[in-house]
Amino acid sequence: MQLQTFASRDALNAELAESIEQQLNQAIAHKGQATLALSGGSTPVPLFNRLSHTPLTWEQVTITLVDDRWINPSEPDSNEHLLRTQLLQDHARQARFIPLWQAGMTAEEAVQSCQARLQTINGPFDIVILGMGNDGHTASLFPDAAELTAALHSRADCVAINPTQAPYPRMSLTPARLLNSRQRILHIVGEDKLATLAKALTRPPEEMPIHLFLQHPLTIYWAP
CA angle 10, 16, 17 (to 5 degrees): 90
Q: Is 174 in the site for ligand 6PG (CB under 6 A)?
A: no
d(CA 102, CA 109): 10
Q: Which of 99, 131, 163, 205 binds ligand 6PG (CB under 6 A)?
A: 131
The C-alpha R_g of the chain, in whole angstroms, comes to 16
Strand pairing report for 67-69 and 170-173: antiparallel
Q: Is 163 in the site for ligand 6PG (CB under 6 A)?
A: no
Q: What is the number of the residue whose Cβ is closest to ligand 6PG? A: 131
Interactions with ligand 6PG, residue window 55-84 (CB under 6 A): 66-67, 69, 79
**Part of the chain binding ligand 6PG (CB under 6 A), chosen from 52-60, 129-137, 153-161, 177-185:** 129-137
Minimum Å gap between C-beta 66 and ligand 6PG is 6
C-beta of 59 vs 192, nearer to ligand 6PG: 192
Minimum Å gap between C-beta 172 and ligand 6PG is 8
Q: Which of 46, 73, 133, 175 binds ligand 6PG (CB under 6 A)?
A: 133
User: b/e map of 39-61 (b: 16 or more CB within 10 Å)?
Assistant: bbeebbebbbbbbbeeebbbebb
Q: Are 76 and 107 in contact (CB under 8 A)?
A: no
Terminal Cα distance for the chain, rounded? 19
Q: Is 41 in the site for ligand 6PG (CB under 6 A)?
A: yes
Q: Is 42 in the site for ligand 6PG (CB under 6 A)?
A: yes
CB-side exposure of 113: number of CA atoms within 13 Å?
12
Q: Is 224 in the site for ligand 6PG (CB under 6 A)?
A: no
